[in-house]
Amino acid sequence: MPNTSITPPISTDVVIIGAGPVGLFAVFECGMLKLDCHVVDALDEVGGQLSALYPEKPIYDIPGHPAILAGELISMLEAQAAPFGPTYHLGQQVTGLDKQDGGRWLLTTTKGTRIDTGAVIIAAGVGAFGPNRPPLDGIQEFEGMGPGKGVNYLVKRREDFRNKNVVIAGGGDSAVDWAVSLSEVAQSVKVVHRRPKFRAVPETVERMQGLAEHGNVELVVPYQLAGLDGNTDGLRAVEVADLDGNTRTLDADVLLPFFGLTQNIGPIAEWGLGIDHNHITVDPATMNAGLDGVFGAGDIIAYPGKLKLILMGFSEAALAAHSARDHVHPDQAYHFEHSTSSGVPGSAQSGAA
């Protein structure tokens, strides 16, 4: 007779849902508290949006780093977590979260992975994401890199845009950051925005405006996208119009529309958590997400005063890890130590007498 027995689930202290920067730092914080971790992510690589969308984008608000590329930050976070031996389950989504006897949780994924865990930290960023596509006729025909294309919603390699005429549409951080960065390699950079005020880090806006004063960037304001011109060889121009109907034609090899991402948190919405506009409401003192032993950190959570910054996510990951530790080992007293005192596995200090 065939063996119909079910393989017992993997057992661990903590499961972290999301392998972006906040999830990776949560591994480190849990490791420092002697908690074993498994990490699940729907993408095929760690890093979340930083790896999938803009690994070569510079980030300016990480403490101690005046500027660091997104991909480099992920590499450092992965190396920081490595001494604690996390197990990564990539390319799969958590579909089930079920309460077990003894207060533990059973997670199941789209690949059939089953994990029995004492606590869960949800650090899933914005969940599943995709670009908000501007309503331009024929835009999908030009989407992608290579011959006959020209419309892209992300920049993975700056070098792909060397000596190109680049038109950037949008007024947020992505638009401003890439205008500054691509001005160093592109033939020309034009930024189209419906108003002269930009919703981005003020220092970066000032840098872009300084580049505009010196002719390295052209600010096309107040205008918005109106149409595309191209053929089988690819994009040739972008049509823009102001509120009075006046139009301009901008030479363009590439259009980069940065109008944000669509967000879908998927099965997380069905787990009985406090969900408000695709965000999980948490207790800011403990990062508890409304279920016993389930915590949140990063862009997916909301609480009064929440800022969507990576450094805030790092702080939330630390709080969530400490709360997870208290939940997994409620009867064990914990005496907090700074990393300078405790060291980490494999470090010279951790092995010192």
In a domain, residue 140? The reply is yes
Kindly state whether residue 1 falls inside one of the protein's structural domains.
no
Q: Which residue has the higher pLDDT, 114 or 128?
A: 114
What's the CATH number where 107 sits? Answer: 3.50.50.60
Asked whether the predicted pLDDT for residue 353 surpasses 80, the reply is no
Does residue 94 share a domain with residue 46?
yes
Q: pLDDT tens digits, residue range 220-244? A: 999 999 999 999 899 999 999 998 9
Region 162-182 average pLDDT = 95
Helix (H) or strand (E) holding 74: helix 70-81
Residue 35 in domain: yes
The CA angle 45-46-52, to the nearest 5 degrees, is: 65
Q: Give bridge partners of residue 227 from the DSSP assignment.
A: 239
DSSP state of 7: P
pLDDT of residue 341: 73
**Residue 187 CB coordination number (10 Å):** 12
User: Does residue 349 lie in a domain region?
Assistant: no
Percent of the chain residues topping a pLDDT of 70: 95
pLDDT digits (tens, 9 = 90+) for 48-76: 988 877 888 888 899 999 999 999 999 99
- Is residue 181 very low, low, confident or very high in pLDDT (cuts 50, 70, 90)? very high
Domain boundary among 244, 259, 274: 259
pLDDT, position 148: 83
pLDDT given at position 2: 52
Cβ neighbours around 315 below 10 Å, total? 14
Edge to edge, the sheet with strand 275-276 lists: 275-276, 279-281, 301-302
Residues 116 and 234 in one domain: no
Domain identity same for 60 and 73: yes
Instruction: Give 258-270 pLDDT, tens digit per residue.
Output: 998 777 788 898 9
* pLDDT, tens digit, 9 for 90 and up, residues 264-323: 788 898 999 999 888 999 999 999 999 999 999 999 999 999 999 999 999 999 999 999
Q: Which amino acid is at 82?
A: A
Residue 275 to residues 71, 128, 130, 265, 278, Cα–Cα distance (Å): 30, 16, 20, 10, 6
Residue 91: inside a domain, yes or no? Answer: yes
> What's the total number of domains in the chain?
2
Binning pLDDT at 50, 70 and 90, where does residue 337 land? confident
Mean pLDDT, rounded, of the chain? 91
Predicted local confidence at residue 332, as pLDDT:
87
pTM, full prediction: 0.73
Whether residue 126 has pLDDT greater than 80: no
The domain boundary residue, chosen from 208, 228, 259:
259
Q: How confident is the model at residue 347 (pLDDT cuts 50, 70, 90)?
A: low
Q: Is residue 350, in this structure, part of any structural domain at all?
A: no
Q: Mapping DSSP to helix (H, G, I), strand (E, B) and coil, where does residue 270 land?
A: helix
Coarse DSSP helix, strand, coil percentages of the chain, rounded to the nearest 5 percent: 25, 30, 45
**Domain annotation covers residue 179:** yes
Specify the 3-state DSSP secondary structure of 295: strand
Q: Whole-angstrom Cα distance, residue 274 to residue 222? A: 40
Structure confidence at residue 352 as a pLDDT band (50, 70, 90): very low
Domain boundary among 259, 278, 294: 259
| 255 found inside a domain | yes
Start-end of H helices in 173-329: 173-182, 202-213, 310-328
Q: Is it the case that residue 338 has pLDDT exceeding 90?
A: no
Residues 6+ apart with CB under 8 A from 332: none
279 plus 204 within the same structural domain: no
Positive or negative, the CA dihedral 156, 158, 163, 165 is positive
At 28, the amino acid letter reads: F
Q: Domain range holding 154?
A: 133-259
Q: State the pLDDT at residue 185.
A: 96
CA 212 to chain centre: 29
